[in-house]
Chain A
Amino acid sequence: MFNFTLILPELFVLCMVCVVMLVDLFVEQRQQVLTYALTQLTLVGAAILTLCIYCIPTTANFSGLTVHDHLGSVLKLAIYITSFFVFLYSRNYFRQQNMGKGEPYLLGLCSILGMMVLVSAHNFLTLYLGLELMSLPIYALTALQRDKEQALEAAIKYFILGALASALLLYGLSMIYGASGSLDITQVANVIGANSTQHPLIFVFGLVFVVAGLAFKIGLVPFHMWLPDVYTGAPNAATLFLAVAPKVAVIGMTIRLLVECLPGLQVQWQELLIVISVLSMILGNFVAIVQTNIKRMLAYSTIAHGGYILLGFIAGTAAGYSAALFYTLAYAIMSLGAFGIITLLSKQGFDVETIEDLQGLNDRNPWLAFMMMLLLFSMAGLPPTIGFFAKLSLIEALVSTHFVWLACIAMLVAVIGVYYYLRVIKVMYFDKPLDNKPFSLAWDAKMAITINGLAILYFGIFPGALITLCQQLFWSGTMLN
């Protein structure tokens, strides 16, 4: 019932948060080397602990508040790895842009702890607490550049709309709680499954608010308004942080809520998701075409990618869910690289904002330009990158469940999407640079971006291992119910 071994990663991260806080406070250190090293060490340690307990079979822990299963472990590992790269990319940015001493690392670690709680939640209570623990530090991270008006505006918008989204989710969850009499995810699923012939309308009522809250958090049409403004206004390193790991965690929450808790209402949430997904794909891809700000363009492409991820949920089969998870992981690697390069290119007093800032990147640093090209190819879904296989497996899942029209729409808008990704590549390779100075990177950043870019290529050519892993997570028997 109270198995502390299974929450070792969470305990470790929590202890390290306190250690990092005290070290940062009391140890005189130039440029926060120690804080940075300890933060990265925390992530490595948590990854090792998670791997150590990976093979323990699925168990509900702490009177059902949390669950230990493979899905949670895989999502946690994805969160650690992407966050490791995020801190690596943004280290210089934090130092140069006056974002405080150790605060960004500390807030980042707290947020990661929230994500870990969120993806292994098995009760509405822990789910909500994890969500809040994840979001609160990100709001502060966005506002950390206090002398930049744009960042403050983004933080306020993010905070208020994030609170609204939490309130919507909470309202829906409390309706489901009222109707089922339980907060436990398995028990709610059993209550709904027991009277499967006729669902009380109240469950559907709660479901609508839950889906609205989820769509808010993922950033899907018509709840997407905050996303471009926040991505544009936030400091580049904060954008990088909030674009990668929280996305993985929120998709994990969506799986917990829709697939594990409310499979009995699949017909109902399928209809809702179809509308949201189609609108997101179309609006995201079309509006991205006219953007001149690269962060804003990538923000709209995020909305479109969110729509694609939902396609896997719409298919409603194990193959569909695993395709959605595969797409999420692929998207995490892609956005990690793209926002990472934007962060790396930013220097003291100069933030990369517009697409023109990337002009002639090939002349200044050919390797970086090549990596960016790979990432953009992958986002567009061109072979031989991971983005191609991610889209392919989604379309496959859709066609096998007879959603051919939906697959056609997805393909069409993907083709339209190719245009704006290629435009950035054209600017990088065929336009003259504004500033002829060659751009050099520190060795660690160079290595990280190389691994990141080559991962896109590697998983694009040999996607088998990752796809099998995602499929195994949704085989019956591995889940708790």
Chain B
Amino acid sequence: MTLLQFIFYVFSALMLLSAVGTIISRNPVHGALFLVVCFVASAGIWLMLQAEFLGLVLVLVYVGAVMTLFLFVVMMLNLDKLPSRAGFKKYWPFGILILLLLVGLMIYVVAPSHLSLASNAIAIPHPADYSNVQALGAVIYTQYVYAFEIAAVILLVAIIAAISLAFHAFHQDTKRQNISKQVQTTAAERLRLVKNMGKE
């Protein structure tokens, strides 16, 4: 086993274990942290594939921004522990059976004979001055511009959908700022002097 293979197996094992941890952990904060580990491990694998830009973006955007936001939300919701999974005990033997069947079949089909290092040539390592950012930038606005623009539209849709779901303008009992009223306030309204009756 070469050093590269060793690193690959370490990252892969870390990724799989943390992915399982995300699903089975009862505490949502632990679940989110496991997901962070999963992202970091997959970023490591991308680095090994010489896609350093993607690996770094995964860490910066997902771990740095998205998951942090996610953790904030989980903490604010004050979910101590998820309610116990009532149906889980009843179904797990069946689930394990299906899992074993599926994984067994998948291993049988994509056995080493199809996806081994011997049958697939190892990618030629790029020279030292190879830039992943340059390679991406050369195609993303030229060859793949159509797909890139559609991805941008999907983000637009995400914004529209999120706002239309979260914006409660039509409800009567929504608490909102009335800015014109705030501006027109007078000094007397801002401060009310109360005589302290407790002490003299």
Q: State yes or no: do A and B come from one complex.
A: yes
Give A contacts to B, CB under 8 Å.
2, 7, 14, 17, 21, 61-63, 65-66, 98, 100, 103, 106-107, 110, 113, 117, 123, 125-126, 129-130, 132-133, 136-137, 139-140, 143-144, 146, 175, 178, 200-202, 204-205
CA distance A110 to B170 in the complex (A): 23
Contact B160 A100 (CB under 8 A): no
How close is B164's CB to chain A, nearest CB, in angstroms? 4
Known: A62-B145, A100-B164, A144-B164. 16 other contacts (CB 8 A): A61-B146, A62-B146, A107-B157, A107-B160, A125-B144, A125-B147, A126-B146, A133-B150, A140-B160, A178-B115, A200-B114, A201-B109, A201-B110, A201-B114, A205-B106, A205-B109
Q: Mark B155-181, 1 if CB is under 8 A from A, else 0.
A: 011101100110010100000000000
Contact B164 A140 (CB under 8 A): yes
B153 within 8 A of A: yes
Contact B143 A63 (CB under 8 A): yes
Q: Mark B81-117, 1 if CB is under 8 A from A, else 0.
A: 0000000000000000000000000100110001100
How close is B119's CB to chain A, nearest CB, in angstroms? 10
How close is B122's CB to chain A, nearest CB, in angstroms? 15
CA distance A441 to B100 in the complex (A): 57
Contact A107 B114 (CB under 8 A): no
CA distance A107 to B160 in the complex (A): 8
**Which bracket fits the contact residues of B?**
20 to 34
A-B contacts, 20 listed (Cβ < 8 Å): A14-B153, A65-B144, A98-B170, A106-B164, A107-B161, A113-B153, A117-B150, A126-B146, A126-B147, A126-B150, A129-B154, A133-B157, A136-B154, A136-B158, A137-B161, A140-B164, A140-B165, A144-B165, A146-B168, A201-B110
With a 10 A CB-CB cut-off, give which of B156, B164, B165, B168 has the most chain A CB atoms: B164
B75 within 8 A of A: no
CA distance A180 to B89 in the complex (A): 42
B151 within 8 A of A: yes
Contact B147 A110 (CB under 8 A): no
A14 neighbours in B (Cβ, 8 Å):
153
CA distance A254 to B173 in the complex (A): 47
A200 neighbours in B (Cβ, 8 Å):
114
CA distance A73 to B196 in the complex (A): 79
CA distance A14 to B154 in the complex (A): 11
How close is B146's CB to chain A, nearest CB, in angstroms? 4
A133 neighbours in B (Cβ, 8 Å):
150, 153-154, 157
CA distance A113 to B154 in the complex (A): 10
A132 neighbours in B (Cβ, 8 Å):
154
Given contacts A63-B143, A117-B150, A144-B164, contact A110 B114 (CB under 8 A): no
A144 neighbours in B (Cβ, 8 Å):
164-165
How close is A313's CB to chain B, nearest CB, in angstroms? 23
Contact A136 B147 (CB under 8 A): no
Kindly identify which residue among A129, A130, A139, A201 contacts B161, using a CB–CB cutoff of 8 Å.
A139
With a 10 A CB-CB cut-off, give which of A21, A65, A98 has the most chain B CB atoms: A65
Contact B147 A65 (CB under 8 A): yes
Given contacts A65-B144, A201-B114, A202-B109, contact A103 B153 (CB under 8 A): no
With a 10 A CB-CB cut-off, give which of B150, B153, B165, B168 has the most chain A CB atoms: B150
B143 neighbours in A (Cβ, 8 Å):
63
With a 10 A CB-CB cut-off, give which of B114, B147, B153, B156 has the most chain A CB atoms: B147
**Majority SS at the chain B contact face:** helix
A62 neighbours in B (Cβ, 8 Å):
145-146
How close is A239's CB to chain B, nearest CB, in angstroms? 18
CA distance A126 to B109 in the complex (A): 28
Kindly identify which residue among B115, B153, B168 contacts A110, using a CB–CB cutoff of 8 Å.
B153
Q: Taking CB as reference atom, which chain A residue is nearest B162?
A: A140
How close is B156's CB to chain A, nearest CB, in angstroms? 8
Contact B114 A137 (CB under 8 A): no
Q: Taking CB as reference atom, which chain B residue is nearest A110?
A: B157
CA distance A126 to B143 in the complex (A): 12
Contact B165 A137 (CB under 8 A): no
Contact B157 A136 (CB under 8 A): yes
* Interfacial residues of chain B within 44-62, with CB under 8 A of chain A in the complex: none
A123 neighbours in B (Cβ, 8 Å):
147
Contact B157 A202 (CB under 8 A): no
Contact B165 A202 (CB under 8 A): no
Kindly identify which residue among B110, B145, B151, B170 contacts A202, using a CB–CB cutoff of 8 Å.
B110
CA distance A143 to B160 in the complex (A): 13
Q: Taking CB as reference atom, which chain B residue is nearest A62?
A: B146
Contact A110 B160 (CB under 8 A): yes
Given contacts A107-B164, A139-B161, contact A130 B150 (CB under 8 A): yes
How close is A139's CB to chain B, nearest CB, in angstroms? 7
Q: Taking CB as reference atom, which chain B residue is nearest A2?
A: B145
How close is A452's CB to chain B, nearest CB, in angstroms? 29
How close is B135's CB to chain A, nearest CB, in angstroms? 16
Q: Taking CB as reference atom, which chain B residue is nearest A175?
A: B110
Contact A106 B114 (CB under 8 A): no
